[in-house]
Structure 1
Amino acid sequence: MSSYLLSSQGLPTEVKSEQSYFSSDERPLEFMKNADRIEEIACNMAVVKKEVLFLTHPVSRTIRRDWNIVSAKMYVFGLKRDYRVLIQEDLAELHHQIDELYKVASMGLFSDVDTSWLNMLRVEVKIISANSSSWLRAMKTWDACVARLLTAERLGIIDRKQRKHILYPVTKAYIGFKNTAMRGKAQNARELVEEGSLMLSPSLPDLAA
């Protein structure tokens, strides 16, 4: 079984510790969609509740939209071992693409940007499986990367088109993971990422500067 599923091995240091993103801060909780979908499962099992802080609206919005329904479907479909393997493969691909993104977001021009201007958002999630826990760790790393890239765009280091291009492989991997977790019929994460790699790259600044 992939280490991505049961531990934070391979993730950046600042997101390994729960204290770095779980908080009892007084910020109001953001609304989570489809709460009833996860409640149908959670009422019959032990559930871990976590309050999580996100730096960016794009990632927070994705979590608030997707968490409950994707977690519920991923749990139900994952009861079948063969399909659980498919979910785990796409989850591993998502982690891989986010790890690659983190390497870029940690390079020269991005490494020292100050993200404190961003207003953190607080959400409460219910974790009902090891896969959900792994998914949450991936989203926290993605959020940290997006925060750096948004800041770099704000400072004029990159433009909007360049930011979207840098994020493209993770975006495609996430779509593939979500499709598989919800038993959609679209391409899986790896297929979508490989298809996207054929696109022409916009010119980027010297990131190591």
Structure 2
Amino acid sequence: MSAQVCGNAVAAGQQLAVKNVDRIEAINIPGVEKRRIAELYTWVFSRMVRRDFNLTSVKLFFYCKKTDQADLARFLLANLTEEAQVLEDMARPYEMPASTIFSSCDMRIISDESEELLNALLTADRALHKLMHSPLAEVAEANLLPFMRAYNALRHKVIGFPKRQPACAE
């Protein structure tokens, strides 16, 4: 697994490593190369995007090659997007704090599903940041749980984590 340091002069933030860059760069997509600067405000989402986005995007890309799987992936992405929207709606009454960006990374977008995933992560990141600087700060992370469940359901399906075997008592 290779890592690349991310950050640039345009967007402030820490220079942090992004994992699985080699995997996402190895995919050849005909047409225009799509990249986005992910400006992240919270440690939680900075870590998720840097550690998980590339691997999840690659797995999602291949998972969606089969029509029946693509439909399920899009359903799971729709749930994730809906949970990000719930967080955004909750944070809407509050102003975006005038604080610096925690980190920024140049991320490669390899499919529409990959773009939807990044959009959901960025939306939830901004909402969490606003909530953490609001009167709801004490429960901000608790409000993140439905989003995290939807995110983990998507990752579980496309990555195919092995099922845990119960520990045997001898």
Q: Secondary structure at the match of 2:78?
A: helix
One of 10, 28, 41 as aligned partner of 1:25: 10
Q: Secondary structure at the match of 1:41?
A: coil
- For 1:26 and 1:54, locate their aligned partners in 2 and report how far apart those are by CA, in whole Å: 10
Shift of the 80–143 alpha-carbon distance from structure 1 to 2, 3 Å rule, reads: same
In the alignment, does 2:45 pair up with 1:68? no
The equivalent of 2:71 in structure 1 is 85
Is the contact made by 1:29 and 1:124 (CA closer than 8 Å) also made in structure 2?
no
- For 2:155 and 2:162, locate their aligned partners in 1 and report how far apart those are by CA, in whole Å: 11
Is the contact made by 1:56 and 1:118 (CA closer than 8 Å) also made in structure 2?
no
Please tell me the residue identity of whatever aligns with 1:83: Q
Shift of the 53–26 alpha-carbon distance from structure 1 to 2, 3 Å rule, reads: closer
Is the contact made by 1:54 and 1:120 (CA closer than 8 Å) also made in structure 2?
yes
Q: CA deviation at 1:92?
A: 0.2
Shift of the 88–185 alpha-carbon distance from structure 1 to 2, 3 Å rule, reads: farther
In the alignment, does 2:124 pair up with 1:145? no
- For 1:100 and 1:51, locate their aligned partners in 2 and report how far apart those are by CA, in whole Å: 24
Please tell me the residue identity of whatever aligns with 1:179: H
Higher share of residues assigned strand = 2
In the alignment, does 2:152 pair up with 1:175? yes
Q: Secondary structure at the match of 1:72?
A: helix
Is the contact made by 2:39 and 2:103 (CA closer than 8 Å) also made in structure 1?
yes
The equivalent of 1:132 in structure 2 is 114
Kindly provide the CA deviation profile for residues 79-110 of structure 1, in whole angstroms up to 9, marking residues without a partner as x.
11111111111000011111112111124xxx
The equivalent of 1:104 in structure 2 is 90
Is the contact made by 1:77 and 1:183 (CA closer than 8 Å) also made in structure 2?
no
Q: Secondary structure at the match of 2:18?
A: coil
Please tell me the residue identity of whatever aligns with 1:170: F
The equivalent of 1:115 in structure 2 is 97
The equivalent of 2:45 in structure 1 is 59
Report % sequence identity: 24
- For 1:41 and 1:52, locate their aligned partners in 2 and report how far apart those are by CA, in whole Å: 20
- For 1:65 and 1:30, locate their aligned partners in 2 and report how far apart those are by CA, in whole Å: 10
Aligned length: 154
The equivalent of 2:35 in structure 1 is 49
Kindly provide the CA deviation profile for residues 136-163 of structure 1, in whole angstroms up to 9, marking residues without a partner as x.
11111111101112212xxxx2454x22
Q: CA deviation at 1:50?
A: 2.0
- For 1:123 and 1:129, locate their aligned partners in 2 and report how far apart those are by CA, in whole Å: 18
- For 1:26 and 1:95, locate their aligned partners in 2 and report how far apart those are by CA, in whole Å: 25
Q: CA deviation at 1:120?
A: 3.8
Kindly provide the CA deviation profile for residues 26-76 of structure 1, in whole angstroms up to 9, marking residues without a partner as x.
53653211112212214x644312222112221111000111111111111
Please tell me the residue identity of whatever aligns with 2:158: A
RMSD of aligned C-alpha atoms? 2.2
Q: CA deviation at 1:24?
A: 6.2
